[in-house]
Chains A and B, each alone.
Chain A
Amino acid sequence: MLDPTTQRQIELFLFEEARLLDSGDFQGWLKLYEPQGIYWMPSKPGQTDPLNVASIIYEDHGILSIRVQRLLEERALVLTPMPRTTHVVGNIEAEPAGQEAGEAAFKVGATFICIVHQGDKQTLYSGRHSYDLVRSGEAFRIKMKRVALMNSDATHAPMTIPL
């Protein structure tokens, strides 16, 4: 088990991420990622293979930055009106995962609920986050975030804001 201070720092880091997404600060959100960091939303429960099995999203920083620019771009049709979200993160459990280039690394699990409001539509997403985090001074950076939607293999309407 982690010491309470580190545990609390990690919790606050996850809350910060949720707040950045909810406030539409997608550039700020992207800065939480390592330069090679990956965001992965599988299309199947228990999916381990991102190459032979299609993912809803499997993007590294280079592609995520295009996605973020698109979110901030005026002409993204699916984003008019701009969706508003409430990201709720809970049940945060963190454990040490050794060292990454001299910095402490952590594995973090959490549950999430996200409600997306757009025009007169409300969509509810829920599932489980898994993070690989590394220390970066006082803060952390995301090496990998895996978003396991409870209904990853269901029929979906278009998704817009990262969960």
Chain B
Amino acid sequence: MATIKDRASVPAGSGLNDDIGEAKRLELYRTQVVLREAEQRAYDLFLQNLVKGTSHLSLGQEAVAAGFAGAMQKGDLSFCTYRGHAHTLARGVPVEKVLGELMQRDNGLMRGKGGSMHLTSVEHGVMGSYAIIGAHLPIACGAAWRAQYKGAKDVSVCFFGDGTTNIGAFHEALNFAAVWKLPVIFVCENNLYMEYTPISEVTAVEHPAADRAASYGLERIVVDGNDADAVYRIAQTAFTKARAGKGPSLIECMTYRHSGHSRADPAKYRPEGELERWKLRDPIKIYRERLLQFGVAETVIKGIDNEVRKIVDDATEACKAAPNPPFDIITTDVYADGGWAWRN
């Protein structure tokens, strides 16, 4: 079974290598704190019965979203799964819009028409969160095909979990992207569990994404997904490759989900001590220590924490005060004429 020992096969964070610079590091830290605070708040609001439906949190996986978002340029496109809150927030979508959608209020990103699993913000490059496993890998290929056809320089980035590597669409998309040399980056967040079952129990290879890369003529890449610097560096490499017309990348980020699969899952299937071991490698803890190593003052870090906390508090209050969606949107936007008419 894949456990924390897999860390041994992951390249270590590169210590005091200051290739990233303080401004970017503070950005990477802040993004992770936004994701952590907003998702922790979503969980609290769920316990208060204010977040409805389901929700799939990325608590513990923030470094992947922050590292990739930090390497993206305006115009780059994100394709997410139902575990997409973090990737949506990381592209700069306001916390209030995301919490509003989770709370199914009229101020939500899609006014409650999509819900937690379908966060979409085209103006921020978030081209959707897809709740059918694997569906968005081919879709990201299509967006990348458009960039290639138009001679545009944007890159499509597709985030998915380890469980996705065992569905057909994963393999169709990888082959398709490789054959067409598309500017797309496939990012597997390997959090060790497909849903409730360890990925190692249902997968023929140790690294469910990276060990399949060779089948599609791609490099085998495994990265420490709890280290935002490591993720940011590998993301930059993949973006450079994609923008140069050299085709797709497949990157497996080793990480861990602090919460269960979804709100209904207490994650009792985890072996004793596993969560605690991974919490020692909490991406935000790691990053806070790194900032201190680089001489960032504790007051600066605390300042970011407080600023983000206030944003999330204000968003929470705004969402609690927001009205429910009106009934007249039930029949809007079924078709492009804005309505739902299927007959004359």
A and B associate: no
Interface residues of A (CB under 8 A from B): none
